Structure 1
């Protein structure tokens, strides 16, 4: 089965934050129940600088949806979930994705299967982890050097944090000009490589996942996710 993935993000005004938080809880089940949905997460977001509570951006929310195909994904725009978020939002974006690689689990499953693919154009990387409570402080201390390094990485178009809960259930989304730029940072940049090497020894994660996608289409306001088309650093 060829899976089709969409990433949605909405920017809401501060006055709408209480309503958005209520929707975050209420709409999760409705999103998962939509026809053609194989896996779905409604998420809070952050800057990706520290992954602690202070990193949260209460004016932006996201949904990651894995569909059985492109056709059922088109029904999302007219769904009660989408209409509810649109009524709150001052800006929104949808990014269509094709899975290229995925390893690990999210909520006990492999949401993107085990794809094997390549892409010549823009790619999106997603990381997600559930921290072990006793290792969380050590992890948070290790994040700032990596966050500072990625902010100036060549080819970075956008980045932001995602989370299912304020503490311990976090991840990142980053968009790159091409696969070469992503690989150069992920495996050759000293700070990021050092963090990768520390992971097994530190035992930070109870569950983790890394996935890479080809960006098929981008619709909406790219400012919602701090997208910079010039290949300069993206800011959430």
Structure 2
């Protein structure tokens, strides 16, 4: 079976569980480094609201993993003791399984996402992961423009969900977004002036020392998330909860 990628979001309420999730940003590594069938992983915090935000959201964390095949992923999410511990400390946990469509750039010196040869031509949904390390000398310019570039995400047609995530606050940022279709994504990427200007500024001002852009085809999900209806998506082969 071909390689797949998973993205998992965790949400909790209350200081005790928020502190537990914060601690696990350090202590989960001992377990995750030994997971069988996993070739890449990243634990990340998140920013407030949607898109990039330098102010942390201590209620929400994310984990991205790459698997040798789908069965390793299912085994981890169904049986891993680590997932049982997260379950006890979170009010919402949602995992999306995805096949990579295309990937450009590097993440911590790696190219973790290999394009899949097993895409479903009848599945319209598309997910995007962008990740960048911002040059320290460009931090002020980058964060000054962020509110303008992110404004179109509010009530953007075809956008199902988006969240700003990252490994290191302010310096290493990423976004995850899920769209109803490729056309909806293109309408945002190429028809919203704020976003096209951001792309131009990235090239002109050389904001990033490292960047990555990847598109995925989601095909299954676990769990639930807030009051959104992600699990109502017509995704094939949803694994049992």
**So what's the TM-score if we normalise by structure 1?**
0.89
Q: Deviations over 1:156-196 (max 9, x none)?
A: 11011111022211111111000111012112221101111
Aligned to 1:182: 185
Aligned to 2:236: none
Aligned to 2:163: 160
Q: Structure 1 residue 100: deviation in Å?
A: 0.5
Once residues 208 and 10 of structure 1 are traced to their aligned partners in structure 2, the CA distance between those partners, rounded to angstroms, is 25
Establish whether residue 124 from structure 1 lines up as the match of residue 127 from structure 2. Answer: yes
Once residues 92 and 197 of structure 1 are traced to their aligned partners in structure 2, the CA distance between those partners, rounded to angstroms, is 36
Secondary structure of the structure 1 residue equivalent to 2:58 = strand
Q: 1:48-197 maps to which residues of 2 (within 5 A)?
A: 48-52=50-54, 54=55, 56-77=56-77, 78-114=79-115, 120-197=123-200
Unaligned runs of 5+ in 2: 234-241
Contact 1:11-1:224 within 8 A present in 2 as well: no
Secondary structure of the structure 2 residue equivalent to 1:164 = strand
Q: 1:59 to 1:212 in 2, by over 3 A?
A: same
Q: Structure 1 residue 14: deviation in Å?
A: 2.3
Contact 1:28-1:41 within 8 A present in 2 as well: no
**So what's the TM-score if we normalise by structure 2?**
0.87
Q: 1:161 to 1:229 in 2, by over 3 A?
A: farther
Once residues 159 and 199 of structure 1 are traced to their aligned partners in structure 2, the CA distance between those partners, rounded to angstroms, is 21
Aligned to 2:237: none
Q: 1:114 to 1:215 in 2, by over 3 A?
A: closer
Unaligned runs of 5+ in 1: 231-236
Runs of 4+ aligned structure 1 residues displaced above 6 Å come to: none
Once residues 226 and 30 of structure 1 are traced to their aligned partners in structure 2, the CA distance between those partners, rounded to angstroms, is 31
Once residues 66 and 225 of structure 1 are traced to their aligned partners in structure 2, the CA distance between those partners, rounded to angstroms, is 25
Q: Deviations over 1:80-137 (max 9, x none)?
A: 2212211211111111111011101001000102558685411111111111111011
Establish whether residue 12 from structure 1 lines up as the match of residue 12 from structure 2. Answer: yes
Secondary structure of the structure 2 residue equivalent to 1:141 = helix
Q: Structure 1 residue 212: deviation in Å?
A: 0.6
Task: Tell me how large the CA RMSD over aligned residues is.
Answer: 2.2
Q: Structure 1 residue 10: deviation in Å?
A: 1.1
